[in-house]
Structure 1
Amino acid sequence: MLYETRWNQQRGTRPVRIANCSGYEGTDPGYHMKLQAELGDIDFITGDYLAEVNIAENAEAFAAGTHPGYEQTAWDGLEQTIDIIAKKRIKVVINGGAQNPKGLVERTHELVTKKGLPLTVAYVEGDNLLSVMNDIRKNGLPPHLDSVNSEVNFPKDTLNLLEDESRPVVTANAYLGAREIVKGLELGADIIICGRVADASPVIGAAWYWYKWSETDYDRLAGALIAGHLIECSAYVTGSNFAGFYEYDLDNLYDLVFGIAEVENDGSCIITKHENGKGMVTEDTVKCQFLYELQGNIYLNSDVKGILDDVKIEQVGRNRVRLSGIRGAPPPPTTKLAIFYRAGYQSELLINATGYATAEKWDLYERMLRFGLKRRGILDKFDILEFQRVGTPAPNASNQLASTTYLRIFASAVSPSTNLGLAATMSEFSMQHFSGFHCTSDQRLALPRPYLSFYPALYPQSSLETSVTLLPSPSQGTAKSVTYPTTPPSHTEALAPRETYDCRAPRPLSGFGPTRAVRLGDIALARSGDKGANLNIGVFLPTALPSSLPPSARPEAWAWLRSFLSVAKMKALLGEDWRAEYHIERVEFAGIGAVHFVVYGILGRGVSGSARLDGLGKGVGDWIRDRVVEVPVRFLELKGGRNARDAARL
């Protein structure tokens, strides 16, 4: 009763504390939900279990009755935490229902009933559009997600799911907003299980309900949207995937607790964590996560558009960082629709070479395989066939591993026989190899394996049929489940091409004085990631690192960074990975000293369809930071710590 009284008396009168427990299926064990519940007072637990591909990976097994359709780690978390949820009156909103939110809710309801807990559970439906999209060759495809941008060239084979029936659609899920969540909470639900709601929608729904906002409170909703964006990726805001990790105690950077957002009534928030758990929340961890997976200066959600230009991030206490300055606007009339289809078969071959004449060894091996494939009549039957050289042998290496690199042969084709032909060709020439040829003993990846590819689309929100269903609580005896339909936003704004610009008032780089050739990472941090075929890269001046620039130097350093990091410079930094068919957009976030780029098409068809070794683009930011550039000496001389020592050695 103590916690229930607190809820009734405090709802809307103080910041709502929302703790996230998951950022992806399988990788975040259920104990993270329990930790968030037991380590301190919170009002809501949210969880994002769905990346773009995993909702599709188990779809066929679910349809065949060999998979439950929901995420196991979501169930594990509920099972471990249910007693604390009931005792503390914590409300839970997660999208771990995946393809079968009803199934997870029914299992949770059985647990609640067995324990006699006073909890009402509910599930959201309306995101699954497979029945609408399963005959696209007859009815056509909805518009591509990037169709409003005339500058974007779609990656090769983007539309090949229309070519023949050998590429059937497996899943089609629309990204829902928070409206169904809010409705369920208003009707008394304690636990709401969703399918494909957008990553931040559970946090938006929690804050919207807590403060009884209107659907047109766009600035507030947009603030909650970004709060959700900051905490939805597991421990990314508390020290994981953090570019400046090497400046800190490494033993504090694993076994991390996840983030908490304290959302205020105006939509601003403080990002924090439970103090009795490992990790850290600093301006720089928050900036890294803010820049992650953005698509420019507008963040889209089914309920609101977040306008990010004026974002501010500031440390206000130990492990407490305030984010403000987010503005909102009406949502678009469409939402994202993720369509996955069986695209064919993939194979990978990994071949090692050591030492002298490595480049010539790879030249020989590629020529030999292409000759064999052509003789078999299959060279032109691959959708993708790439010979990727990974690594550079260390000069005068003191051990063999340092002198060894490998060739990654990546192949995809519509027929498994084409990929089998690649393995057969490798076998045919297995004794006609270069000097020192060797490979791992396990070459199972050479065998063709089916894969799913991704088509991101736009779908009208007005065409969705969404609802929330409440199951009876144990105290209601034999009462039946009740379904409540929901409606789309009453006000929308059409999508427009995204803003892009080079520095609007660049300073001549020569005006910053003498320079030194150092790595870009000696002065800047970065974060990169994927959105389907597109890569985003955010680069910013660090604030909270031990070797950061002093406040007096930051305005000049920011003037240099924004003048230096032009679209042309990013193309140059991408080097041999840049292709003319790609397109770059660039914006600035002056309030946090960041320049942000979106590179369209560089990840191919994205997710499992990408031929890149780093198909999610997570390593690009660290690669760009390792590129050697000319940096004004005066900024380097102000810095201390590891980065300055490294710079001096270059």
Structure 2
Amino acid sequence: MRLQAELGDVDFITGDYLAEVNIAENAQAHALGQHPGWEETAWDGISQSIEILNEKRIKVIVNGGAHNPKGLAEKVQKLVTEKGFDLKVAYVLGDNLIEEVRDIRAKGLPPHLDSDNSEVHYADHTLDLLRKSDKPIVSANAYLGAREIVRGLEEGADIIIAGRVADASPVIGAAWFWHSWKSSSFNELAGGLIAGHLIECSGYVTGSNFAGFYEYSLDSLYDIVFGIAEIEEDGTCVITKHEKGKGIVTEDTVKCQFLYELQGNVYLNSDVKAILDDVQVQEVGENRVRVSGIKGAPPPPTTKLAIFYHAGYQSEIVVNATGYATSEKFDFYERMMRFGLRRKGILEQFDVLEFQRIGIPEPNPRSQLRSTTYLRIFAEASDPSVNIGLASLLGEFAMQHYSGFHSTMDHLALSSFGPTVKAKLGDVVLARSGDKGGNANIGFFVPTALPSAYPADSPLYQQAWDWLRSILTMAKLKELMADSWNESYFIERVEFPKIMAVHFVVYGVLGRGVSGSSRLDAFAKGMGDWLRDRIVDVPVKILDGRHVRSSGKKDLGKL
């Protein structure tokens, strides 16, 4: 945002900060009081740019308010007041329909976007929120148009913070206000819609995500500036960029972005329909491309409503195979995993269970990397224990596998353990570490005998173990070791389920061994407690299930 303001002459800076994924994720966190509701990057851009926005009188319109546009507007207003600037801040509400859809199981859903097309079949589980009682709705947001934005600008707003207005609505609103269009100026509004569509995705129109990138200097296509739309009174536009920044604007980059996320030859918006059949794209100068031929029609009687519900828990496991008989190796591994799930009685409890093969080994491979491909196990279930059951098979069959088996990393849905807080790993687990020649061994376990431990028959005891073995992957140990990790080291990992322990051996970390090690802690005796002092995301219920050590409250006398 700051670069767009600094590098040249612009009247408006617009921003689309929302995607379906961050709306849903942040809705849950916001409802739990763990997220402000608005997008942090929207605040970051405004706070970095406020001085130059005030100096150049550049207006800003963003939908980064997300679930809490009022909260972000108040934060921006506070900044404006502290700076002593004469800027008016406004916000747009009305998109959040969570209260209206809470009883949707009784009322029924509004029509699906594709319900008029009998040839379209919904994916499995699309309507689970109606059919199952354990699928709570977490967010429901309508995609608003530009009318409220125009009203805000007419009232003198300099910065407008919106919730879920449609991606192009900030641009439509700016052009609508600037050219004093009417709500019935459909050709012009349609042109504004497409202009907004072309610049809404950061650098996509200036060389990012561009299919023909290999025809250009690669160094010109990163650290690029974003696109600029010069919108004429008739709705036609020229797409360009600041010359002082990297990137390219060509007929091809514009065509690529134009074709992105289209609904066909009619682009629907709350304010207008854009008829695209006669669109023309023409280069009119270096990094200047004119877009014309867009026709408009009255908007549809409805607008898009995105409803998100808690569908379940996902797990992803990726294992590798190298070289000879790769296909048979993956056949064997899938058969073994399905056998293990069936024996646990959970094979039929998955909503989704897929064994996906990624890549084909190179014929006559010149390196092991060229010979290696992946089996991706993707699973989804309503009950997180089902996913944990899948993950447990990695340990159960750890020494039963195809030849050359090796795993990159397994990722469990840690969110299944509920809300988390930042805490020290040692607040919930104990550890012991030591040396074996040049290697260090570190074991972590869930305590049982401490006064503050979980009772052995408590459900939290099992949950703490499930969480510990889920979070303490080899990749996580590398992350915890941080500056002390070196890529020359090698890790082995093993689980001891009957004592609820995860154990690592870190090869090479002690150099030549105890007597020849340059490490301050040459015996690795303190390594476990160092790692217990590292901050991780700990589920609240697990942390609260035991009493955290009351450090410093016992009178130890004077030393």
The separation in 2 between residues aligned to 1:275 and 1:63, in whole angstroms, is 43
Q: Specify whether residues 103 and 392 from structure 1 end up closer, same or farther in structure 2 by C-alpha distance, changes over 3 A only.
A: same
2:158 aligned with 1:216, yes or no?
A: no
Q: Where do 1:230-379 residues align within 5 Å?
A: 230-379=198-347
Deviation for aligned residue 1:451: 12
Partner of 1:144: 112
Partner of 2:407: 439
Partner of 2:166: 198
Deviation for aligned residue 1:194: 0.2
Partner of 2:499: none
SS at match of 2:245: coil
The separation in 2 between residues aligned to 1:58 and 1:292, in whole angstroms, is 25
- Contact kept, 8 Å, 1:181 with 1:202, in 2: the verdict is yes
The separation in 2 between residues aligned to 1:395 and 1:424, in whole angstroms, is 34
- Contact kept, 8 Å, 2:222 with 2:247, in 1: the verdict is yes
User: Which one of 62, 71, 77 corresponds to residue 94 of structure 1?
Assistant: 62
Partner of 2:94: 126
Partner of 1:398: 366
Q: Specify whether residues 118 and 206 from structure 1 end up closer, same or farther in structure 2 by C-alpha distance, changes over 3 A only.
A: same
Q: Specify whether residues 451 and 40 from structure 1 end up closer, same or farther in structure 2 by C-alpha distance, changes over 3 A only.
A: farther
Structure 2: runs of 5 or more not aligned:
419-559
Deviation for aligned residue 1:165: 2.9
2:47 aligned with 1:79, yes or no?
A: yes
Partner of 2:35: 67
Q: Deviations over 1:504-539 (max 9, x none)?
A: xxxxxxxxxxxxxxxxxxxxxxxxxxxxxxxxxxxx
Of the two structures, which has the highest relative contact order with CA contacts closer than 8 Å and spacing of 6 or more? Answer: 1
Q: Specify whether residues 447 and 282 from structure 1 end up closer, same or farther in structure 2 by C-alpha distance, changes over 3 A only.
A: closer
Q: Deviations over 1:391-425 (max 9, x none)?
A: 11111111111100010000001111111121123
- Contact kept, 8 Å, 1:355 with 1:403, in 2: the verdict is yes
Q: How many residues align?
A: 418
Q: Deviations over 1:15-67 (max 9, x none)?
A: xxxxxxxxxxxxxxxxxx11111111111000000011211211122122221
The separation in 1 between residues aligned to 2:73 and 2:186, in whole angstroms, is 31
SS at match of 2:303: strand
Q: Deviations over 1:246-293 (max 9, x none)?
A: 010111000000000000011000000000000010000000000001
Structure 1: runs of 5 or more not aligned:
1-32, 453-650
2:26 aligned with 1:58, yes or no?
A: yes
- CA-atom RMSD, angstroms? 1.3
Aligned-pair identity in percent equals 70
In structure 2, what residue type is equivalent to 1:42? Answer: V
Q: Specify whether residues 113 and 449 from structure 1 end up closer, same or farther in structure 2 by C-alpha distance, changes over 3 A only.
A: closer
- Contact kept, 8 Å, 1:307 with 1:328, in 2: the verdict is yes
Deviation for aligned residue 1:448: 5.7
Larger Rg, first or second structure (1 or 2):
2
The separation in 2 between residues aligned to 1:439 and 1:375, in whole angstroms, is 23
- Contact kept, 8 Å, 1:423 with 1:447, in 2: the verdict is no
Partner of 1:462: none
The separation in 2 between residues aligned to 1:446 and 1:190, in whole angstroms, is 45
Deviation for aligned residue 1:449: 4.3
Partner of 1:428: 396
- Contact kept, 8 Å, 1:393 with 1:402, in 2: the verdict is yes
TM-score (norm 2): 0.74
- Contact kept, 8 Å, 1:201 with 1:228, in 2: the verdict is yes
2:189 aligned with 1:225, yes or no?
A: no
- Contact kept, 8 Å, 1:345 with 1:415, in 2: the verdict is yes
- Contact kept, 8 Å, 2:139 with 2:309, in 1: the verdict is yes
In structure 2, what residue type is equivalent to 1:168? Answer: P
In structure 2, what residue type is equivalent to 1:192? Answer: I
Q: Deviations over 1:587-616 (max 9, x none)?
A: xxxxxxxxxxxxxxxxxxxxxxxxxxxxxx
- Contact kept, 8 Å, 1:416 with 1:448, in 2: the verdict is no
The separation in 1 between residues aligned to 2:29 and 2:328, in whole angstroms, is 46
